[in-house]
């Protein structure tokens, strides 16, 4: 534990409630800008409505500069949102750090970039880029890739391959050709060299699994990127057109793998002596493929790699600062320290964090400042409810009931002073673009909020409700005039990305005795205000440099 973290000072005037402070994070649930397409507003959520009507509440910023992203045009995401809610301050995040490193040239002056380029030139081998090809700016940005390709050309790299993962979640769900075709043209524009896309597929079908939920995705990615095994096409544009013709309703994120071939041979297998850059800056969907590259031959992995090329491998960033994964990276991540969990455990607080697999890492790893493991084994309990491996629109209630079961048991046990939980429904089902499924997911979640509310009332605790960003509140694409964009058949065009909308902040305190002003919560704040708020509600004085609390103590 960092030496700078000391036990929190107790509030001399208020020791908090007899029960725990419970934080519910409704992942992907915001306040919609438009009535059309707002699945949250369309849902019957009697418990959330009651809590909003009978508790002090406000709206919080959960995107752009409020969570450390470059501009307020940037959507928030679960990673940076949980970072902010966990550390109580705003740190410059991946997209901003990478853009800055490229603009200043420090990325290309760094030892890792120089090492990878030097290896390729010495071995007369290939420089490979693997990552999400879009401008969603949540996991990656195509401009970062373009800048690295241009620099590689400038430094004399003759052979370069891009293994392009299709987005469709942080951008339009069927926009793959808007990124793939221009990238093919961009790569072809470099004279006298051999640059092209070598393989790819949808981000929810290959490569980008997270939290060890489905290693089959990683195996399919390995087979396509490294071994050159998969359905063969002459170009990535041809592959997308063919898949779309066969299944007109296919979303980019679900597209099967493709391998580009010339004269019957894959153009971009990864071999001994090559260099590989995973150009996603966000860590959760990069860790497993990184492990596949960095685990020695014969090492323990959930799938057979067939062969393990000896390459120089680097991530865009260090995806895990404690385990130092990957071994090599291009840009240093934000150094997030003195998180709420670290302070609470230093103060002797028993706490619990829980979600299902899809968001388990968010209430633990990301909430703790991109740190695996616990601060104190005796004081912290982390619970993962295994997610179903089925399309989320087919089971939109997900595991919210099981999460609530465990939370209610924990509340009633009297063991914990703080419990945080994440209901993934609004985000994971929201990404499917299926409006009715999202409504179902919201109403299922609301039932569980009501159950938790009752347990908080029985034990004399405080219930805080918020979200990490918007999503399910904005399910249709809108034109600049606010009208809903239409598909060819006249149906609304689905939106699967996060929104720029604010998120809720609700504090339900059933045993309120006047210790703070309930007439209004502080306004104009971001989700990074939760740690100071929770500390105050528990009877502690938050660190002086934490962002302002939502409440004003009397």
Domain edge (last residue) among 274, 303, 331: 331
Angle at 259 between CA 253 and CA 261, to 5 degrees: 150
Asked if the structure places residue 322 within a domain, the reply is yes
495 inside domain:
yes
What pLDDT band is residue 4 in, cutting at 50, 70 and 90? confident
Q: Please report whether residue 528 resides in a domain.
A: yes
Residues 351-363 have pLDDT tens digits of 999 999 999 999 9
Tokens of 300: 């323990």
Q: Is the pLDDT of residue 497 over 90?
A: no
Q: Tell me which residue of 183, 186, 182, 165 sits closest to 252, measured CA to CA.
A: 165
Same domain, 414 and 288: no
Using the 3D structure, point to which of 271, 296, 331 is the last residue of a domain.
331
Mean pLDDT of 259-284: 96
Alpha-carbon dihedral of residues 425, 427, 430, 431, nearest 10 degrees?
-130
| Claim to verify: residue 283 and residue 147 sit in the same structural domain | yes
Q: Give yes or no: residues 189 and 76 share one domain.
A: no
Average pLDDT, the chain: 95
My answer on whether 169 and 198 are in the same domain is yes
CATH of the domain at 55: 3.40.720.10
Query: Is the bond preceding 326 in cis, omega lying within 30 degrees of 0?
Result: yes
Express each pLDDT in 366-386 by its tens digit.
999 988 899 999 999 999 999
pLDDT at residue number 1: 39
Kindly state the average pLDDT of the residues 73-89: 92
Residue 377 has a CB neighbour count (10 Å cut-off) of: 9
List the alpha helices (DSSP H) in 264-394.
Answer: 287-294, 340-346, 357-361
SS (H, E, C) 56-108: CEEEEECCHHHHCCCCCCCCCCHHHHHHHHHHCCCCCCHHHHHHHHHHHCHHH
Q: State the pLDDT at residue 322.
A: 57
pTM over cut 0.85: no
DSSP assignment of 466-492, as one string? Answer: E-SSBSTT--B-B-TTSPBPB-TTSPB
The tokens for 456 are 């908080």
Q: Are residues 234 and 345 in the same domain?
A: no
Range of the domain at 483: 9-93+335-541
Strands 126-132 and 194-202: unpaired
Q: Does residue 33 lie in a domain region?
A: yes
551 located within any domain: no
Intra-chain end-to-end CA distance of the chain, in Å: 33
Q: Which tens digits make up the pLDDT trace of 128-147?
A: 999 999 999 989 999 999 99
pLDDT class of 274 with cuts at 50, 70, 90: very high
Task: Report the pLDDT value the prediction gives residue 211, as an integer from 0 to 100.
Answer: 76
Q: Which two tokens stand for residue 260?
A: 């580009």
278 with 186, same domain: the answer is yes
pLDDT at 212: 86
CA 77 to chain centre: 5
In SS3 terms, 205-217 reads as CCCCCCCCCCHHH
Residue 448 and residue 59 in contact, taking contact as beta carbons nearer than 8 Å: no
CATH of the domain at 130: 3.40.1450.10
Catalytic residue among 43, 78, 99, 441: 78
Q: Round to whole Å and give the CA distance between 317 and 333.
A: 6
Task: Identify whether residues 310 and 392 lie together within a single domain.
Answer: no
Number of structural domains found in the chain: 2
Same-domain status, 142 and 39: no
Res. 321 pLDDT band, cuts 50 70 90? low
Same domain, 187 and 48: no
Task: State the pLDDT at residue 509.
Answer: 98
CB-facing half-sphere around the CA of 268: CA atoms within 13 A: 32
pLDDT at 466 over 60: yes
pLDDT digits 0-9 by tens, 35-77: 999 999 999 999 999 999 999 999 999 999 999 988 888 888 8
Q: How confident is the model at residue 2 (pLDDT cuts 50, 70, 90)?
A: very low
Cα 79 from Cα 77, distance rounded (Å): 6
Distance in angstroms (rounded) separating the CA atoms of residues 381 and 355: 12
CA nearest neighbour of 1 among 356, 276, 476, 345: 345
Cα 289 from chain centroid? Answer: 16
What angle do helix axes 215-225 and 287-294 make, rounded to 10 degrees?
Answer: 60
Query: Which one has a higher pLDDT value, 372 or 552?
Result: 552
Final residue of a domain: which of 268, 298, 331?
331
Look at residues 362, 334, 107 and name the one whose alpha carbon lies nearest to residue 211.
Answer: 362
Asked whether the beta carbons of 336 and 324 are under 8 A apart, the reply is: no
Same domain, residue pair 342 and 324: no
Share of the chain above pLDDT 70, in %: 99
Q: What is the pLDDT of residue 284?
A: 83
Residue 539 has pLDDT above 80, yes or no: yes
Instruction: Confirm whether 230 is domain-assigned.
Output: yes
For residue 487, being part of any structural domain is answered with yes
Share of the chain above pLDDT 90, in %: 90
Residues 147 and 71 in one domain: no
Q: Is 335 exposed, middle or buried (0-12, 13-18, 19+ CB in 10 A)?
A: exposed
Q: Which of 471, 478, 473 is nearest to 492 (CA)?
A: 478
Q: How far apart are CA 397 and CA 444, in angstroms?
A: 5
Inter-CA distances, 541 with 9, 512, 537, Å:
5, 19, 9
pLDDT band at 324 (very low <50, low <70, confident <90, very high): confident
**pLDDT-based confidence at residue 413 (cuts at 50, 70, 90):** very high
Per residue in 203-222, pLDDT (tens digit) is 999 999 987 889 999 999 99
Verify whether residue 99 is a known catalytic residue. no
Q: Flag whether 2 is in a domain.
A: no
Does residue 434 contact residue 494 with C-beta atoms inside 8 Å? yes
Q: State whether 24 and 42 are in the same domain.
A: yes
């Amino acid at each position: 534990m960092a030496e700078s973290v000391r036990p929190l000072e107790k509030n001399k005037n208020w020791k908090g409630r007899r029960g725990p402070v419970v934080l519910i994070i409704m992942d992907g649930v915001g306040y919609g800008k438009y009535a059309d397409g707002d699945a949250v507003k369309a849902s019957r959520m009697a418990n959330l409505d009651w809590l909003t009507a009978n508790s002090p509440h406000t709206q919080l910023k959960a995107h752009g500069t409020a969570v450390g992203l470059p501009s307020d045009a940037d959507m928030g995401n679960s990673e940076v949102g949980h970072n902010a809610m966990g550390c109580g301050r705003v740190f410059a995040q991946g997209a901003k750090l990478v853009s800055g490193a490229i603009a200043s040239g420090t990325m290309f002056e760094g030892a890792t970039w120089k090492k990878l380029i030097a290896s390729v030139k010495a071995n007369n081998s290939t420089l490979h880029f693997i990552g999400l090809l879009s401008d969603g700016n949540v996991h990656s940005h195509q401009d970062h890739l373009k800048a690295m390709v241009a620099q590689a050309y400038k430094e004399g790299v003759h052979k370069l391959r891009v293994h392009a993962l299709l987005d469709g979640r942080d951008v339009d769900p069927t926009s793959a050709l808007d990124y793939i075709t221009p990238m093919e043209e961009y790569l072809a524009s470099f004279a006298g060299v051999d640059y092209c896309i070598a393989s790819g597929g949808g981000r929810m079908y290959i490569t980008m699994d997270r939290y060890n939920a489905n290693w089959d995705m990683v195996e399919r990615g390995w087979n396509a990127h490294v071994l050159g095994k998969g359905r063969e096409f002459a170009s990535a544009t041809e592959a997308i057109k063919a898949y779309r013709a066969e299944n007109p309703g296919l979303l980019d994120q679900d597209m099967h793998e493709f391998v580009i071939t010339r004269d019957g041979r894959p153009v971009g297998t990864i071999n001994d002596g090559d260099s590989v850059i995973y150009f996603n800056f966000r860590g959760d969907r990069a860790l497993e493929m990184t492990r596949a590259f960095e685990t020695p031959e014969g090492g323990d992995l959930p799938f057979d790699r067939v062969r393990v090329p000896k390459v120089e491998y680097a991530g865009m960033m260090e995806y895990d600062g404690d385990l130092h994964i990957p071994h090599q990276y291009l840009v240093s991540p934000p150094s997030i320290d003195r998180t709420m969990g670290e302070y609470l455990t230093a103060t002797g607080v028993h706490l619990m964090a829980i979600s299902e697999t899809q968001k388990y890492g968010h209430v633990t790893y990301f909430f703790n400042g991109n740190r695996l493991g616990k601060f104190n084994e005796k004081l912290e309990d982390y619970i993962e409810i295994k997610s179903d491996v089925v399309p989320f629109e087919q089971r939109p209630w997900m595991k919210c009931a099981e999460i609530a079961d465990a939370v209610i048991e924990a509340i009633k046990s009297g063991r914990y002073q703080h419990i945080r939980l994440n209901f993934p429904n609004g985000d994971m089902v929201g990404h499917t673009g299926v409006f009715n499924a999202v409504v179902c997911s919201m109403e299922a979640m609301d039932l569980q909020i009501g159950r938790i509310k009752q347990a908080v009332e029985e034990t004399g605790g405080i219930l805080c409700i918020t979200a990490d960003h918007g999503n399910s509140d904005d399910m249709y694409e809108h034109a600049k005039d606010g009208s809903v964009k239409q598909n060819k058949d006249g149906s609304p065009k689905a939106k699967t990305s996060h929104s720029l909308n604010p998120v809720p902040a609700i504090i339900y305190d059933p045993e309120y005795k006047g210790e703070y002003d309930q007439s209004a919560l502080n306004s104009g704040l971001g989700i990074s205000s939760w740690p100071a708020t929770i500390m105050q509600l528990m009877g502690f004085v938050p660190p002086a440099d934490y962002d302002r609390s939502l409440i004003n103590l009397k």
